[in-house]
Structure 1
Amino acid sequence: MNGGAVLARHALLPDGWARDVAIAWNGDGVITAVGATAADAGAAAAAAVGLVIPGMVNLHSHAFQRAMAGQAETAGEGEDSFWTWRELMYRFAGRITPAQLEAVAAQLFVDCLRHGYTSVCEFHYLHRAADGAAYARPAEMAERVAQAARETGIGLTMLPVLYSHGGFGAQPLGPRQRRFQSDVGAVLGMVEALDRLRDGQFEVGAAPHSLRAASMAQIGELAAALPPGRPIHIHIAEQQLEVDACLAHSGQRPLAWLLERQGLDARWCLVHATHLDEAELAALAASGAVAGLCPSTEANLGDGLFALAPYLAAGGRFGIGSDSHVGHSPVEELRWLEYGQRLRQQRRNIAVSPVQRHVGDLLWQAALAGGAQASGRPVGALAVGRRADFLVLDDEHPNLAGAPADEVLGRLLFAGNDNLVRDVLVGGRRVIQDGRHAGQAAIAARYRAALAQLRERSP
């Protein structure tokens, strides 16, 4: 792949908006220069564009759940919750085949790219066949997701999941969890098998599913055995019932227990972290780890609201993910994040700081930084040495037409529901042009066929 360059009328750089910015990248998709002209950027010529912002990282994804989005919105006989939704998810997870997973993941990744995500972190726990037997290639299902990422052009961090127990105290897995079963050796085997795919577009880390699905000893063993610098993600404190169960088992709240027994650093991403007390919130902020917030899924499941304002005040880092994929847009996640805080506190403009009073700018830049850290990849900024992953916004749309640069992200996040992403480049390759992916029709056809097959197999 040859390098390239663009000349942006306005571009969002790490220290804020700049006018007339040339961005050049090499054949490996890495930004080599950022300057005022094509010559300054070391490029012979640059294509003129309007508004350019870095592409967002989706730091938490369960790709297979894209195919069940919207199918769990009918009330049961009793009171519905995350735990009743989980039973529906288990039934769905029990049916999907490797080929269907690849089709579903490809559709998801096109959805994500079209709306402004240029990277995804896949929290992958569909390891085994429907009967619980291991595949001939134990990383078969992960490889299918990786292939979907290659086809669509999105960057991917694959996180094979450690899932050994059905509850605190090493409870046995239930029948519906047999596809998820793995131990530390199995996860490390998948990491080794996937390492051959590592390049600028693909990284491999690992993920203990949760404190209820992996023992503290297993978590420590896995973290110590991973190659240095690889990302580690874990679900934590998503539901109050989980907090109560952890207290009953350990005498401590989940994050406090994890901090005491393992410690945290910048490699870690704590997904959801919804139900933290003040001490846990401050400790997470001080650790350098990232809080992985998924507001659309957390709202859909009735999880609760993360305490964003005190976390930001303590210097905490966060990123966003679409998790169960009831939404596919970073705009939706960041809007939900801010609006949830406004409803909670009954005031406006929560995500600000003494040096950044524009809510949209703080949310986008902070989520970029946290997402890049959680992905373990050099993304998240228009800067030398980072991947050339960026969005060209539709500056002719009424919501952005004539917008001063410092209003662009506020309008993007809080004005209407039209998709304002026109073009998307990932590693310098244009994967979305005028709102469409080149393979969109064929990928959608395969997705529809996979859904039809899954419906036929539905009990």
Structure 2
Amino acid sequence: MTTQAWAEAALLPAGWARRVLLEWGPDGTLARVRADCDAPAGCTVLPGPVIPGLPNLHSHAFQRGFAGLTEFRAQDADSFWSWRDLMYRFAARIQPAQLEAIATWLYVEMLEAGYTSVCEFHYLHHDPSGRPYAEPHTLSLALLRAARRAGIGMTLLPVLYQHSNFGGQPPTEGQRRFVHGTEDMLRLLERLQPECRAQGARLGLAPHSLRAVTPASLRDSLAGLDAIDPRAPIHIHIAEQTKEVDDCLAWSGRRPVQWLLDAAPVDERWCLVHATHMTRDEALAAARSGAVAGLCPTTEANLGDGIFDLAQWRQAQGRWGIGSDSHVCVNAAEELMLLEYTQRLATRRRNVLADDAQPGVAAATLLAAVAGGAQAAGRPVAGLATGQSADFVVLDTRHIALCGLDPQDMLSAHVFASARGSAVRQVWQAGTRRVDDGRHALRHDAAAGFLAARSDLIHVQ
């Protein structure tokens, strides 16, 4: 059996189309996308323009629990590194049920905001003392259950974390819950593979950063991953902070991206998260590798990382996608808006991310982010096309910022002129309506669980 839905307008990978019929089978995969047709009898008529759901390519779910709680000066020059100390203190307290409650609420928020899948960069593995749980995949399973309950697509990326800095320096006390030996990590992946397959999730690996793994462990973990799944996605934090670049130069004589490209088989499977501080030569080489740049505008702004040179990356035909990372903001359209605005500030021009094929900035950025996010996720979530998941968002034509506009202007108003989440009417994931009239069915229960978990965590002495 197939399900049909029809929209007056839809943003397809090649651009806007009118009178679009979507058809999908029981597994939620699009079997047909046809434009310029009438709505068949009995099909669902969608109540507004349809845009593709956005893959969120970088998430640390537990960090939603302390978003907004670090915005107080603790020293003369607060930085990423002082924020990290506060994050470690919060991470040290979390119990499995609390992680699941935080993640369930986060994934509900993501769906309401227009994200339909998430890449979970998961490095909180062990109990608060740093010992493995009796079931080593306890916290990974909590995340998988949260995704299944909320109904969001999942790429799970267990993180290999072994050292505190370049050259194999010992991990700190605050990192004790993160640390795995290479063989232990590969055993964890083998154990998680059937769990992921059972719910249609994708499993990959995230060497945390060049600070956190040695060249030997990076090589061995990649070889082990290939034995499990030679097409599995690989994500890594890289060149996020200038201190990281300086430390890498002191250790190796090369900058982080340059070192990685020289030492590892970087290709389309890779997502280079942040990659904020690259030279032109590094950016050109990284773009040519086929890797995706994982950009997280609100988190990068919150942490003072710097501004990614997206104009340079695009000139090199580089691919990119969007993540919400620490979740100081959970809003797909807001990330797109801030990405464009930071590029305007850096270049002192407007409409920087538009192009000849898509002169509208909102459509151009959304389509690029969907394509890059799908590649990073390793899942068929690349937009409204045959063979892809039926993941889409219906904009709210009743919203005052959108009412009476052409569909392409509605999308522009959604990104640049509304409260961004407020103009989302419906969200469908794998052909199932998860959000209706702007609200997820689990909103009330998930919010209550989140508030209880956060209250318990922030009041622990």
Please give the range of the TM-score, normalised by the shorter of the 2 chains.
Answer: over 0.9
Among candidates 65, 72, 76, match of residue 78 of structure 1: 76
- Structure 1 residue 38: Cα displacement: 7.7
Between 1:250-259 and 1:48-57, the stretch displaced more is 48-57
Q: Shift of residue 402 of structure 1?
A: 2.2
Separation of aligned partners in 1, 2:340 and 2:46: 33
Shift of 1:56: 0.3
Partner in structure 2 of residue 424 of structure 1: 427
For 1:350 and 1:177, how far apart are their aligned partners in 2? 40
The structural deviation recorded for 1:44 is 5.8
**Displacement of 1:414:** 0.9
Give the one of 300, 304, 307 matched to 1:305.
Answer: 307
- Structure 2 CA distance, aligned partners of 1:40 and 1:77? 61
Give 1:444's aligned residue: 447
Residues 148 and 199 of structure 2 are in contact (CA less than 8 Å); yes or no, is this contact kept in structure 1? no
TM-score if structure 1 supplies the norm length? 0.97
Deviation string 1:231-283 (CA, Å, 9 cap, x unpaired) is: 00000000000000000000000000000011310000000000001001111
Does the alignment pair 1:292 with 2:300?
no
The amino acid that maps onto 1:239 is: Q
Q: Which runs of 5+ in 1 are unaligned?
A: none
Q: Is the 8 A contact 1:296 1:322 kept in 2?
A: yes
1:187-336 equivalences under 5 Å are 187-197=185-195, 198-199=197-198, 201-226=200-225, 227-336=229-338
Amino acid at match of 2:152: I
Query: Cα deviations across residues 109-148 of structure 1 (Å, max 9, x unaligned)?
Result: 0110000000000000001000011001111101101100
TM superposition shift of 1:57: 0.5
Q: How does 1:9-28 map to 2 (within 5 A)?
A: 9-28=8-27
Shift of 1:202: 0.8
Instruction: Answer yes or no: is the 8 Å Cα contact 1:105–1:145 preserved in 2.
Output: yes
Report the equivalent of 2:160: 162
Residue in 1 that maps onto 2:380: 378
- d(CA) in 1 for partners of 2:204 and 2:349? 39
Q: Which amino acid aligns with 1:360?
A: A
Are the counterparts in 2 of residues 7 and 49 from structure 1 also a CA contact under 8 Å?
no
- Aligned match of 1:342 in 328, 341, 344? 344
- Give the match's secondary structure for 1:120: strand
Residue by residue over 1:386-417, the C-alpha shift from the partner in whole angstroms, topping out at 9 and shown as x without a partner, is 11111011012122222223323322211132
Matches of 1:135 and 1:38, distance apart in 2: 55
RMSD: 1.5
Secondary structure at 1:99 match in 2:
helix
Q: Are the structure 2 counterparts of residues 451 and 48 from structure 1 closer, same or farther at C-alpha, using a change threshold of 3 Å?
A: closer
Contact 2:31 2:386 in 1 (8 A): yes
- Match in the other structure for 1:141: 139
Note the C-alpha offset of 1:37.
Answer: 7.4
1:184 Cα deviation (Å)? Answer: 1.8
- Look up the equivalent residue of 2:367 and give its one-letter code: Q
Match of 1:57, SS? strand
Cα offsets for 1:280-309 (capped at 9, x unmatched): 111111110000000000000000000011
Q: Is the 8 A contact 1:14 1:382 kept in 2?
A: yes
Map of 1:182 onto structure 2: 180
Q: Quick one: which amino acid aligns to residue 383 of structure 1?
A: A
Q: CA deviation at 1:39?
A: 8.4
> How far apart in 2 are the matches of 1:456 and 1:3?
50
Name the SS for the 2:88 alignment partner.
Answer: helix
Residue 91 of structure 1 aligns to a residue in which SS?
helix
Q: Aligned partners of 1:193 and 1:38: how far apart in 2?
A: 47
| Inter-CA distance 210–409: structure 2 relative to 1 (3 Å threshold) | same
Separation in structure 1 between the aligned mates of residue 150 and residue 57 of structure 2, nearest angstrom = 18
* 3-state SS of paired residue (1:441): helix
Partners in 2 of 1:340 and 1:449 — Cα distance? 36
Identity %: 51
Say which SS state the counterpart of residue 47 (structure 2) adopts: strand
| 1:440, distance to aligned residue in structure 2 (A) | 1.1
Q: Is the contact between residue 46 and residue 394 of structure 2 (CA under 8 Å) also seen in structure 1?
A: no
Paired residue for 2:106? 108
Which residue number corresponds to residue 390 of structure 2? 388
Q: Which moved more, 1:190-199 or 1:262-271?
A: 190-199
Seen in structure 2, the aligned counterparts of structure 1 residues 11 and 216 have a Cα distance that, compared at 3 Å, is same
Number of aligned residue pairs: give it.
Answer: 456
**Number of the residue aligned with 1:359:** 361
